[in-house]
Structures are given as C-alpha cells and as structure tokens.
Amino acid sequence: MDDAVLGVLRPLINGDGLDLEVRRFDPMSGTLNLRLFDGKDPCTVCRMSADLLAEIALPIARKVDPRVRRITIEDDRPEDGR
C-alpha cells in the first residue's frame, strides 16, 4: 500500500520541492499518517497547509486503497519556510 499511495500523492507536492513518507497506517480506523518534509530545492512561497493537503489527498488515496478513511500529516518543514 505504501508505494502505491505515495506514487499518486507525491506529484501533488514534488513540484514544490517537497516529499512525503508513510509513518503508519492503522487498518482498524483507516487512518494513514504521513510525514511531509522538504525535499530538494523546496519552494519557500508555495506553502500549503498540512490540513489542506490532507483534505486534497484523501480522495486520491482512497482510489488506490479504499481502506484509507482519514489522512493525518506530520509537517516537518521548517517554520520559517526555509
């Protein structure tokens, strides 16, 4: 599941120099916990909130794995956007 879901979600943020990784998936609740972090050459003005990204990502992830019912994102980007 990890690679398939990340494969459809990464294009949402890779253009902004960001990346995602799966922290854990709870099959009982359907909660997918992701970590958002700066990749190579992150855009400092393209700052989408983790909550908005989770909202956008959920229906996309569900198409790949219908067990996903909720997405939470740990935002590990620096606070100042650098």
CATH H superfamily, domain 2-75: Fe-S cluster assembly (FSCA) (3.30.300.130)
**Domains of the chain by residue range:** 2-75
Contact 68, 58 (CB under 8 A): yes
For residue 35, what pLDDT is reported?
Answer: 96
Contact 32, 69 (CB under 8 A): no
For residue 53, what pLDDT is reported?
Answer: 95
Output the CA torsion sign for 61, 66, 68, 70: positive
Nearest to 22 by CA among 30, 11, 33, 10: 33
Question: What are the pLDDT digits (tens) for 36-72?
Answer: 999 888 887 888 899 999 999 999 999 999 999 999 9
Average pLDDT, the chain: 91
Which residues on neighbouring strands pair with residue 25, listed in sequence order? 32
Integer Cα distance of 39 and 42 in angstroms? 6
